[in-house]
């Protein structure tokens, strides 16, 4: 099964777990034209093209704003999303409705809270500056996702010390094995 990584706002740098896992497993990062000021409609189209280019339905491994991107893509493709995507591994979802969220994005508000039509897991930190634990729980419940909370992990990125992140990698690989059986 293929894994398609989806970086968040400002992309994922060389120390980010996505970059490490892409190199280790040969996974592909979905391209995006504008990491600094993304527009939801454009990014949903780009994600749709990246999913269509996969030989089989991928597991989407999203970080930060890309978790919200996955929910908007699923809403836009409600009729066939479950056939086109095997599952979603959603790490550190950003709360675009929070007053503290950067104002450099277009079209992501309000948070998309429809249930996802494929299996999903939300991995969130108890001290993420971009989402409260309460909101992460609300997102996981609304999306129909399993929730996995990590203590003191910040935004679960390279800056927070989550480079290779072997625990996260094993969590994703276990999730991939689970969705392969369904």
pLDDT digits (tens, 9 = 90+) for 46-85: 999 999 999 999 999 999 999 999 999 999 999 999 999 9
Mean pLDDT of 152-177: 96
Beta strands in 8-66 (DSSP E): 28-29, 59-63
What pLDDT does 165 receive? 97
User: Residue 134 contacts by C-beta under 8 Å, 6 or more apart in sequence?
Assistant: none
How does the average pLDDT of the chain come out, rounded?
Answer: 96
Q: For 90-117, write each residue's pLDDT tens digit.
A: 999 999 999 989 999 999 999 999 999 9
Closest C-alpha to 124, from 67, 77, 181, 85? 67
Q: Confidence class of residue 1 from pLDDT cuts 50, 70 and 90?
A: confident
Q: What is the dihedral of CA 103, 107, 111, 115, to 10 degrees?
A: -150
Domain chopping of the chain, boundaries: 3-181
In this structure, which topology does domain 3-181 adopt according to CATH? Answer: Rossmann fold (3.40.50)
**0.95 exceeded by pTM:** yes
**Residues 90/123, Cβ–Cβ less than 8 Å:** yes
**pLDDT on residue 100:** 85
């Amino acid at each position: 099964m293929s894994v398609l990584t989806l970086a968040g706002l400002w992309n994922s740098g060389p120390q980010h777990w996505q970059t490490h896992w892409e190199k280790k497993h040969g996974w592909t990062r979905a391209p995006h034209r504008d990491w600094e000021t993304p527009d939801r409609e454009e990014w949903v189209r780009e994600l749709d093209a990246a999913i269509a280019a996969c030989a089989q339905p991928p597991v989407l491994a999203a970080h930060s704003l890309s978790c919200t991107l996955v929910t908007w893509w699923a809403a836009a493709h409600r009729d066939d999303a479950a056939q086109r995507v095997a599952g979603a591994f959603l790490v550190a979802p950003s709360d675009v409705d929070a007053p503290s969220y950067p104002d450099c994005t277009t079209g992501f508000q309000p948070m998309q809270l429809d249930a996802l039509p494929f299996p999903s897991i939300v991995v969130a930190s108890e001290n993420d500056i971009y989402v409260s634990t309460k909101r992460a729980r609300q997102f996981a419940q609304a999306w129909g996702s399993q929730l996995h909370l990590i203590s003191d992990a910040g935004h679960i990125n390279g800056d927070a010390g989550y480079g290779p992140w072997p625990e996260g990698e094993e969590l994703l690989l276990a999730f991939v094995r689970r969705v392969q059986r369904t």
